[in-house]
Amino acid sequence: MDITFRDQQSGKQGNIILDGNLTVGQAEGLRILLIKALIDAEQVRVDFGTVTDVDLSCIQLLCSAHRSATRMKRSVSLSGDWPEPFKKIVEEAGYSRLSGCRLDADNSCLWVRG
């Protein structure tokens, strides 16, 4: 797994780029990076590079980061096309939604796809 964070526009926006396996073995590294990104940037965008495997731990961390961002008056979004392994786990785990959860006051749920 390769996860990188780039802070752009001095604290306004940061990009996290995900590559490789996003499974429980990499969960702690992803968790730490998401925390750092939310501290360092007001808007965090998660881009998918060449993600080859994903499990529920990654999905849960992204959901938690979105909830934390909302509480911090910051934002987390997923950008670009979702790789097939990511689409599959979102569907299988029941995260795919037509509308956000009750905590999604600003209609920015990661799992609602238009």
pLDDT digits (tens, 9 = 90+) for 55-113: 999 999 999 999 999 999 999 999 888 999 999 999 999 999 898 888 888 889 999 97
| Predicted model pTM | 0.88
Domains and CATH numbers, the chain: 2-92 (3.30.750.24)
- What burial letters (b/e) apply to 18-50, b meaning 16+ CB within 10 Å? beebbbeebbeebbebbeebbeebebbbbebee
| The pLDDT value given to residue 50 | 85
Residue 1 has pLDDT above 60, yes or no: no
Asked whether residue 52 carries a pLDDT value surpassing 60, the answer given is: yes
User: Tell me, what's the pLDDT at 8?
Assistant: 63
